Structure 1
């Protein structure tokens, strides 16, 4: 499939307007006991008593989802209220509520808006049908442009980019170029800014496999993949990671593609793992580890006193497995080998797979700027890894991948 070369529809405010608000991108599976994230949303909205409008537009059970979110926010001092605008909400007139002047005014008067998880296509189809912003969406933008907060988890995080994945659960399908406008991808709402692509459930579901081709196709050079139960607080050019884990920052500003190869490929990407408490400036490109990390020695493979701690030398047979990309990055940073490799492929081709033999080798390698930190202060084996190099190379896989041995 030919990748996108031209996008003719982008909301004008994303490209032309400087926004004063704070976008909080939550990677999904946000737990009720995640004090750091819930408290931070309320804090950013103005603290105790802050009015927060909750949209469960994406949810399969909007009443239940909205109720849980409202309760969590109010436990932390907010004055949260559900806005009954959701296609699956029973016994309401969706269009009437969507255009209700009283509800629109209530949203506009809020200090924050929170989008639930579910199906992100419900959010864009409801608030931005056929690419046109509704009065309700304009009220949400009024909150954001007035210095307020727009937060979202899972589906509510997917809509934060100007472009988003609409329904693309299969990483390999996207890597192989088998995706379509209006089906796997769509326009988002753009609260994360014009130049940053965001994705969610990122490490758990190996979604670097779909982010890289999407960034290339949509013209992004920066991407941020946020892990579950974790939030990226985006305020101006500053990004702060809060919650249970971290986020992967992808920089394609120096990456190249070989147009002669008949499949997606990439050379010279830079990827960084920002752990909880870490910060990154999108304008300067400078990352700052959390204070507890800075109390530990910096790991610098180029330093004369570098002593790698990890002695394993793994080849990862499923680089898109749960958190495997970060494990590989830690091995690269704190290990002996100059590179770490892994595969992305389908061991069992599907009937609709147009290229069953196509796989991809991910090659992580050391280069200028690769540094990191390790800390066990928070009870885990937590790395921060900055500026690992990455190539993605299309390869031909054997079909089947292996055959059983037989007796002599």
Structure 2
């Protein structure tokens, strides 16, 4: 891609984002709920699917399935309709998508009959896949909403539920990842509008950044440059087979298999004299299944099994060093947080180094987690599960010496 084309693309995406912000500035506060899943939601995860149906109106609720992101939207839509109907819904697929064969998505997105069917539903659910295909199908080139997208917003503003998994979670933010590198590659090179970042549909508002596949893929680290770039102070990263429900009072409830990471950059700083990515005094928390958290008041309510499980920092269970050479590995950050919160040591160190294909083979990062006076932990009475609140996180670049055999 030539530098001129890249520059033109950047201008177009920036103008699109501006048009979206201006045209939607007068929206009334939504009365509905969001159900945001981190991806890979299994069909037997009854807690997630049942809650979606309940929020849409209960047994027999009409739920519009949007398979626009899927590689095979016809098959994806059919399967999701069957899954939702198994849990009591009366779901139907909406054939609006770039990859639907023998259809014109630009016409389908303006179809008044499809818009009417969606508007009369109690909920809408976005399938996973490529989030760029969702916005391409539902947002006009000038940044305004198609008739179908406006109908989806009407469902949300009138008290219905908007749900989505993976790509369907990414579009919940006003900003979403679009053409992202690896996690470490993103930290190494940075993010730019029109390349790694693009406008999402913004259901969750402008004050919260959402990402998915968090613990399974170590994506908590890629949230940081995006949040700094766009000025987000709070970020919510949801793990696979797990969902969060966010209501109009900005109360978060975690359901499903595991949990979600909450990043808080309200007091975070960066060292401008250091050219590579760095961050000081961020806060990282882990909300487990059943937990509740208010994004406005920052008040936490433990799940029933943790109600009496607040950890006593004066009587830690562990006394061991917490270290990992694979900070971005599967579930690594959560394991380190769990070990640190119930430890006589107050620091944990994790290292991330470049993988083959990453743009900066000479660059790695150190992640330091610190348990401070305001760090709080809760332990479940029924399972080996924790909630961890307000660990400090600092990130600094490391220069990596290449092995002699390369």
TM-score (norm 1): 0.91
Structure 1 runs not aligned, ≥5 long: 1-5
Shift of 1:385: 0.3
Worse-matched range after superposition: 274-283 or 306-315: 306-315
Alignment-derived partner of residue 224 in structure 1? 236
Could you say if the C-alpha distance between residues 287 and 91 of structure 1 is closer, same or farther in structure 2, counting changes exceeding 3 Å? same
* Separation in 1, partners of 2:405, 2:302: 47
Kept in 1, the 8 Å contact 2:76–2:127? The answer is yes
Aligned counterparts, 1:64-213, within 5 A? 64-130=75-141, 131-213=143-225
Could you say if the C-alpha distance between residues 110 and 347 of structure 1 is closer, same or farther in structure 2, counting changes exceeding 3 Å? closer
Could you say if the C-alpha distance between residues 390 and 164 of structure 1 is closer, same or farther in structure 2, counting changes exceeding 3 Å? same
Q: CA RMSD in A?
A: 1.9
Kept in 1, the 8 Å contact 2:98–2:136? The answer is no
What do residues 97-141 of structure 1 show as CA deviations (whole Å, max 9, x unaligned)? 222111111111111000000000000111114322211111111
Answering whether residue 405 of structure 2 is matched by residue 397 of structure 1, we say: no
Q: Matched residue pairs, number? A: 388
Kept in 2, the 8 Å contact 1:15–1:194? The answer is no
* Separation in 2, partners of 1:361, 1:347: 15
What do residues 59-107 of structure 1 show as CA deviations (whole Å, max 9, x unaligned)? 0111111111111111111111000111112232323322211111111
Alignment-derived partner of residue 34 in structure 1? 45
Aligned counterparts, 1:226-305, within 5 A? 226-236=238-248, 237-296=250-309, 298-301=310-313
Shift of 1:167: 2.5
Could you say if the C-alpha distance between residues 403 and 342 of structure 1 is closer, same or farther in structure 2, counting changes exceeding 3 Å? farther
Name whichever structure is richer in helix by fraction.
2
Pick from 322, 340, 357 the counterpart of residue 332 of structure 1.
340
SS in 2 for 1:141: helix
Structure 2 runs not aligned, ≥5 long: 1-13
What do residues 194-231 of structure 1 show as CA deviations (whole Å, max 9, x unaligned)? 10100000100000111011101111000000000000
SS in 1 for 2:323: coil
TM-score (norm 2): 0.91
* Separation in 2, partners of 1:14, 1:220: 18
* Separation in 1, partners of 2:338, 2:26: 36
Shift of 1:151: 0.3
SS in 2 for 1:270: strand
